[in-house]
Structure 1
Amino acid sequence: MSNERISVAIIGSGNIGTDLMIKVLRNSKYLKMGAMVGIDPHSDGLARAARLGIPITSDGIEGLVKLPNFHEIKIVFDATSAGAHAHHNAVLQQYGIQVIDLTPAAIGPYVVPVVNLDEHRDAPNINMVTCGGQATIPMVKAVSQVAKVHYAEIITSIASKSAGPGTRANIDEFTETTSKAIEEVGGAQKGKAIIIMNPAEPPLIMRDTVYCLAEAGADQQAIRQSVKAMADAVQAYVPGYRLKQEVQFEEFKTDRPLNIPGIGKLPGLKVSIFLEVEGAAHYLPAYAGNLDIMTSAALAAAERFAETHLNKKIA
């Protein structure tokens, strides 16, 4: 294969977009930066892009379309907000551009790279769920690959300082999108998501807790092995992703079932998984693992898309 790369644009010059730009420049094998797009002409992200010689516009999606090199761009990352994404996607689809959505808008299918990326390589729009979803859904899937999961609940705890205005504006969408993806991608019959913004100083690294109620009699050793293998797979593109301790199990028999709101009393095997996500500190602080896992997952998806584009070109 030649050294040719696919040109990409990032909409959103805030923390997530800027971190993603640096990841594309430093770590990408198949991508090159075609444009950085924002709406604040004084944003640090646009200033950095300009210093690096990347085409920029502070006129949003309309400015992107007017850039001289727009026709070269094949993939666009949207790191803005769920509300803005619908308009951005409508414009980009007119030009046949593949869109990777880092907001909780969920217009396209939910994608967690280690779980279902290959199923959606040709999708015009994919949704990267949420930071909590990227961290925890692989664990729910690891359990559901071994045993039926009646219910899965995830609690994501992030440093308050790592939650920008976009994250704060999308809290409702976060819980709804993550809950649905736990079911659709993770394989749980019922999912629930909770997010906690911790104001502690110094800021704490992202932590995630995953609780699954699996069918009674599930093979504990097989679940442990599946969880470990999945954690290793995520770590391949998010180096700071790790299990904090051994997987914990608790059995609930028919004479002492677990009461789950909205479902009722169920016997089964409770599986508890404890995670930590440390950021790579490319642009964001190391404690902002919640933002780093989103940009890392989006980059992993774009790399696969670009590889597909290049293979089609060669064929």
Structure 2
Amino acid sequence: MKQKVAIIGSGNIGTDLMLKIVNGSDRLEVAAMVGIDPDSDGLKRAAALGIATTHEGLDGLRRLPSYPEIAIVMDATSAKAHEAHHPVLVADGKHVIDLTPAAIGPYIVPAVDISDHGEAAAVNMVTCGGQATVPMVYAVRRAVDRLIYGEIVASVSSRSAGPGTRANIDEFTQTTARAIEVVGGAERGKAIIILNPAEPPMIMRDSIFTLSQGGDEGRIRASVADMIERVQDYVPGYRLKQDVQFERIGDNAPVRISGIGEVSGLKTSIFLEVEGAGDYFPAYAGNLDIMTSSAKAVAEHWAAGRAG
């Protein structure tokens, strides 16, 4: 039996998430699509598919006859809106999957820690940059003795960055940097996002730089290759752009890491490309696609556990 889900947010991310579930999930059923704009494309598409809709936000969702049957609520609004939604949904006994950078609840990156939070009332999907890069940071961490530093640069097409993304730039960098540490295992993390105005639009590109000690290049390469395959299970367009690069930082020329001091070790550089599946977004918007694909993977994992 499929688990009923509701999606709050009828914008691009919510609409793509809805289509991914409708067209490609044997464990989930979209029971409601929620927005605040009655003319949004997401609400119109949902209604055409026979899905219950409301343009009255969370209050409207709670008034729908199907609300008591909904097990999972996926919030694709904004960090500020989710701060208000979260306590209400948890109090109502819903399992909440947060696609905003609100950072309420444990961070979850399916390829890394999907099995660690099965009992959590709510989980946070970090950010698009976090979903793309934290698996690579963790891949290095598990292959070395000490991961001192992790830095990521997420470069996405300006066209794929809507009002919600632009309004949450600060939350993006803070949340992603924290996830590099909490989930990725780096002692210090840093995140940068670039909105590239190039035409034609560029596919999402991610650069990951780490500084580690106590590992060798072969183990890191093997760990990265394994992690690429794990992510590809739910994001087929996730791939290395070139071979993993290495540089030795000697004791005679250490680098200074804020809060840690001068350190030496092995610098690893990983360059990724994320192409979207094209369910609703164009293929270049891999930054949006990886968020919805990851959220769907989490919901299906939770639904499978509940069914079992």
Scaled by the length of structure 1, what TM-score is found?
A: 0.96
Instruction: Indicate yes or no: 2:213 matched with 1:241.
Output: no
SS in 1 for 2:279: coil
Distance 2:275 2:260 in 1: 34
Distance 1:86 1:306 in 2: 24
Partner of 1:175: 173
Aligned-residue offset at 1:71: 0.9
Match for residue 274 of structure 1 among 234, 259, 271: 271
Aligned-residue offset at 1:190: 0.2
Distance 2:87 2:208 in 1: 35
Write out aligned runs for 1:16-95 (5 A).
Answer: 16-95=13-92
Distance 1:114 1:259 in 2: 31
Write out aligned runs for 1:181-220 (5 A).
Answer: 181-215=179-213, 217-220=214-217
Aligned-residue offset at 1:86: 1.4
1:23-75 deviations in Å (ceiling 9; x for gaps): 00111120001000000000000000000000000000000000011111000
SS in 2 for 1:149: strand
Aligned-residue offset at 1:259: 3.0
How well do the aligned residues superpose, as a CA RMSD in angstroms?
A: 0.8
SS in 1 for 2:103: coil
1:112-153 deviations in Å (ceiling 9; x for gaps): 001111110111110000000000000000000011110000
Partner of 1:102: 99
Distance 2:162 2:266 in 1: 37
Aligned-residue offset at 1:196: 0.2
1:249-295 deviations in Å (ceiling 9; x for gaps): 00011011123344332110000000000000100000000000000
Matched length = 307
Distance 1:132 1:262 in 2: 24
1:181-214 deviations in Å (ceiling 9; x for gaps): 0000000000000000000111100000000001
Distance 1:170 1:15 in 2: 15
SS in 2 for 1:188: coil
Question: Where does the alignment leave 5 or more consecutive residues of structure 1 unmatched?
Answer: none
Distance 2:298 2:206 in 1: 22
Partner of 2:108: 111
Instruction: Indicate yes or no: 2:168 matched with 1:166.
Output: no
Match for residue 250 of structure 1 among 247, 265, 268: 247
Moved over 6 A (4+): none
Match for residue 288 of structure 1 among 281, 285, 288: 285
Q: Structure 2 counterpart of 1:72, which letter? A: E
Distance 1:85 1:34 in 2: 20
Q: Structure 2 counterpart of 1:59, which letter? A: E
Q: What is the aligned-residue identity percentage?
A: 62
Distance 1:28 1:245 in 2: 32
Distance 2:155 2:78 in 1: 21
1:143-179 deviations in Å (ceiling 9; x for gaps): 0001111000000000000001110010000000000
Instruction: Indicate yes or no: 2:228 matched with 1:222.
Output: no
Q: Structure 1 counterpart of 2:19, which letter? A: I
